[in-house]
Structure 1
Amino acid sequence: MEHEERLKAALADRYQVEREIGSGGMATVYLAQDLKHDREVAVKVLKPQLAQGIGSDRFLLEINTAANLTHPHIVPVYDSGEAEGFLYYVMPYLEGESLRARLDREGQLSLEAALEITREVAEALAYAHGEGVVHRDVKPENILLTGEHALLADFGIAQALAKTGSVRLTETGVSVGTPAYMSPEQASGEGAVDGRSDQYALGCVLYEMLGGQPPFTGSTGASVIRQHLATDPQSLLIFRPGLPEHVAVTVKRLLAKTPADRFEKVGDLKLALSSLPADTPVPWGSGGWG
């Protein structure tokens, strides 16, 4: 509580922090009232060890880049800053839930919902890649479901981590990316991390939506990473009999170990998943952020 009270005091001139609404390995999210614009917002505050590893200058630079991304399937960044040692950025408060919360509740999703979510996230990534921005941490926790749409959040944090340097990050115990969704080239630190790395992560997310679990699981992050580097995932047909063959083939291509064997551009993924009409509404359900 002392941490939250210090945060409330640090932001009191601009935001009235009300309560915690979510927490992960990198940050804690608070519901707040934007006093200047009289609106509800979500304030994401980096964990102290992460803030220490990145530093305020690098964080604010990368978040500013993310704030310039404007797309229907990207959660916008309203504001960012440093206050009394807290590094934070501000987003709209969205009614709905994360894809992680939905997967935890339902396990497998319908084919229609999984493909629509994938298509909308692919559109967000295609736009960001066109602006020269790679996400580096696509995962269910960063995909928000609201109304009839999926929105991708947290552009900038992983990019700031990557540019900070491996030695400094190791010292603070922070890593870039999430093992269950990490491409081989990102996991190994060998080769360029580009838009095809985001493709791989999105392939892992699609695999989980259809199969009920990520392509690789293990008791430790290191064991999962070893599988990304050297093991082929089990066929989705084992977990999802009757899955259309072209969908299984598309997922397999997204999960290719070598970036050159994936799609040339993430925008091509939408064409590969064209069996579902683009205007088919898929209700996401209701709930809070999770």
Structure 2
Amino acid sequence: MIEKLIQHCESFLPEIQGLQRFDSGGQKVVFLGNHVIHGSVVLKLIEINSDSSGKRALREMEIASKLVGNNFAKVYGYGSFTLGNQEFMYIIEEYIDGINLRKHLIMVGKMNFTEVLKLGCSLLEALKTIHSENLVHRDLKPENIILSTEKIVVIDFGIARDLEKQSLTADLAFFGPMTIGYAAPEQIKNQKRQICNRTDLFTWGIIMYECLMGVNPFRINSDSSEIILKDTITYNPPLLSCDHQDFSHIVHTCLNKAIHRRPPSAGHILETLKIRGISS
């Protein structure tokens, strides 16, 4: 099937050649290729198996194409095609030469404060842009953060929420779309009306904690999915131990279970860091 996809895509999209399988997961297959104008690109294919999966894929592509700046991959085009009886949607994106944060953490264990502060500020800038479009990423995690020598890039808007459009998740769904260990309590409970920019700030706090301590704060007690979900809702992890207690306090505030007790925005955190003299 992969060879058929490559042959079809190189015929259907003749501006991209030399396609090679790069990654896959779920209903997605990702290829690397050479674009006649843009050079190295990523071609992401998503299998469409239902009306809802088609709507979600289209929304992902629309969202990705909206986001412009140093913290996002450039989108060069998107669309759909049918191969046999299977429908696919595709998106062509800039290839970011780097590794994801998960692989980096596996290699180093944990990061020093200067590295984490730089990462944290870059992610906050990305979230400022995302939230300015009235979007919520909902799936910020180490696998979706690419570290390159030039920049830090946020990817994968597969479950991003556009607050100006109708939700694609059923009201009666027991859980909302999420990655266990990085989802905010309101995501876990599928409290759709509470999802907002502060939902992403909860996840930002988890990532900062994990990078500094070498462990996800909600995996401290167990790797069991059930316990991680329970701890995310009920457990308050110990304060970070780091060079700047002001930063530790900000992270701890982001991890508050009550949305209204988290910082009001990514920009507010950046301004606080600047005022306290600990911005990158």
TM-score by length of 2: 0.84
Distance change in 2, residues 1:92/1:136 (3 Å): same
Counterpart residue type for residue 248 of structure 1: S
Verify the 8 A CA contact 2:124 2:270 in the aligned structure 1: yes
Q: Aligned equivalents of 2:33 and 2:173: distance in 1?
A: 30
Q: 1:100 to 1:132 in 2, by over 3 A?
A: same
Q: Which stretches in structure 2 are left out of the alignment for 5+ residues? A: none
Instruction: Give the letter aligned to residue 195 of structure 1.
Output: N
Corresponding residue number in structure 2 for 1:130 = 132
The answer (yes or no) to whether the contact 1:75–1:91 under 8 Å persists in 2 is yes
Q: Which residue of 2 aligns with 1:202?
A: 204
* Deviation string, structure 1 residues 140-177 (Cα, Å, up to 9, x no partner): 111111124211112354338x932238989xxx9612
**2:262 match:** 262
Structure 2 residue aligned with 1:7, among 5, 10, 22? Answer: 5
Alpha-carbon distance in structure 1 between the residues aligned to 2:169 and 2:267? 30
2:223 aligned with 1:219, yes or no? yes
Amino acid at match of 1:6: K
What CA distance in whole angstroms lies between the structure 2 residues aligned with 1:251 and 1:30?
Answer: 36
Q: CA deviation at 1:11?
A: 1.3
Q: Give 1:76 shift.
A: 2.4
1:43 equivalent in structure 2: 43
Query: Which whole-Å CA distance do the structure 2 matches of 1:167 and 1:8 have between them?
Result: 38
Instruction: Tell me which residue corresponds to 1:178.
Output: 179
Name the counterpart of 1:95.
97
Q: Partner residue of 1:106?
A: 108
1:20 maps to 2:37: no
| Partner AA of 1:9 in structure 2 | Q
Cross-structure match for 1:149: 151
The corresponding residue for 2:34 is 33
Structure 1 residue ranges without an equivalent (≥5): 279-290
Aligned ranges 1:224-239 → 2 under 5 Å: 224-237=228-241
> SS of the counterpart of 1:163?
coil
Change (3 A) 1:164 1:17: farther
1:105–1:42: structure 2 CA closer, same or farther, 3 Å change rule?
same
CA distance in structure 2 between the aligned counterparts of 1:53 and 1:259, rounded to whole angstroms: 32
Give distance in 2, aligned partners of 1:247 and 1:90. Answer: 38
Change (3 A) 1:38 1:104: same
Higher strand share: 2
Amino acid at match of 2:226: A
Contact in 1 for aligned 2:253/2:263 (Cα 8 Å): yes
CA distance in 2, matches of 1:29, 1:264: 36
Whether contact under 8 Å (1:66, 1:156) holds in the other structure is: no
Distance, in Å, in 1 between the alignment partners of 2:225 and 2:177 is 12
Give the CA RMSD over aligned residues: 2.6
What TM-score comes out, normalization by structure 1 length?
Answer: 0.82
Amino acid at match of 1:73: N
More helix by share: 1
Q: Which has the higher contact order (CA 8 A, sep 6+)?
A: 1
CA distance in 1: counterparts of 2:159 and 2:247, whole angstroms: 31
Map of 1:117 onto structure 2:
119
**Conserved? CA contact 2:117–2:279, under 8 Å:** no
Residue 283 of structure 1: aligned partner: none
Query: Shift of residue 276 of structure 1?
Result: 4.0
Shift of 1:270: 1.3
Counterpart-to-counterpart distance in 1, 2:130 and 2:160: 14
